[in-house]
């Protein structure tokens, strides 16, 4: 009886560890040998399908998707398209205040990792595999921004800015 209990416990632990582990779908571009930076994306934004997550006054992420995606990708509700240059520049200015990081959005295809595009964000998201051919990208949660949610602000010299 003890032998079965030990085997069951080991099996259950292995099963749970497989359910908990998530492979990252956000990778720093330089780790993939990609030299793309934010200023290049801003300059060439019309070459991508561009979306943002979060409210328009406090975006939490800006997504640059390749127009010819290597795999199927579906955006979960919460991602909104950007097709007007003025709105794009405004969103980039607003998110820049939060000091975001640029990531490559990577999915796993039959031939290895596939780049979907780039994600400029202060938060975290991941790709969820829906089926063998398609991924689902969850939105990035809104982050605290003292401009909109109160808090004392100080400039670089330490003076209070009302």
- Distance of alpha carbon 106 from the chain centroid: 10
| Position 18 in a domain | no
For the segment 93-117, the average pLDDT, to the nearest whole number, is 83
Domain of 124, in residue numbers:
24-135
The reported pTM is: 0.73
Burial of 104: CB neighbours in 10 Å, binned 0-12, 13-18, 19+: buried
Would you state the pLDDT for residue 5?
54
Residue 21 has pLDDT above 70, yes or no: no
For the segment 30-45, the average pLDDT, to the nearest whole number, is 92
Would you state the pLDDT for residue 71?
77
| Position 131 in a domain | yes
| Position 1 in a domain | no
Q: Residues 137, 125: contact at Cβ < 8 Å?
A: yes
Element (H, E) at 3: helix 2-20
pLDDT band at 109 (very low <50, low <70, confident <90, very high): low
- Over the chain, what is the mean pLDDT? 79
| Position 47 in a domain | yes
| Position 13 in a domain | no
| Position 17 in a domain | no
Domain count, the chain: 1
What's the pLDDT tens digit per position in 123-160?
A: 888 788 888 778 899 888 876 655 555 555 555 555 55
pLDDT band at 9 (very low <50, low <70, confident <90, very high): low
Residue 19 has pLDDT above 70, yes or no: no
| Position 74 in a domain | yes
For the segment 64-74, the average pLDDT, to the nearest whole number, is 86
Nearest C-alpha neighbor of 91 from the set 128, 145, 37: 145
Q: Residues 92, 62: contact at Cβ < 8 Å?
A: yes
């Amino acid at each position: 009886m003890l032998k079965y209990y030990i085997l069951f416990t080991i099996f259950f632990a292995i099963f749970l560890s497989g359910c908990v582990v998530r492979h990252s779908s956000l990778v720093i571009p330089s780790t993939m040998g990609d030299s793309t930076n934010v200023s290049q994306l801003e300059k060439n934004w019309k070459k991508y399908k561009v979306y943002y997550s979060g409210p328009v006054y406090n975006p939490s992420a800006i997504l640059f998707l390749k127009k010819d995606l290597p795999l199927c990708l579906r955006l979960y509700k919460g991602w909104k398209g950007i097709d007007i240059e003025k709105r794009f520049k405004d969103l980039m200015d607003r998110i820049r205040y939060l000091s975001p990081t640029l990531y490559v959005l990577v999915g796993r295809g039959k031939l290895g990792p596939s780049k979907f595009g780039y994600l400029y964000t202060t938060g975290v998201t991941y790709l969820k595999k829906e089926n063998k051919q398609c991924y689902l990208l969850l939105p990035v949660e809104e982050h605290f921004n003292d401009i909109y949610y109160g808090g004392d602000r100080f400039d670089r010299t330490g003076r209070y800015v009302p």
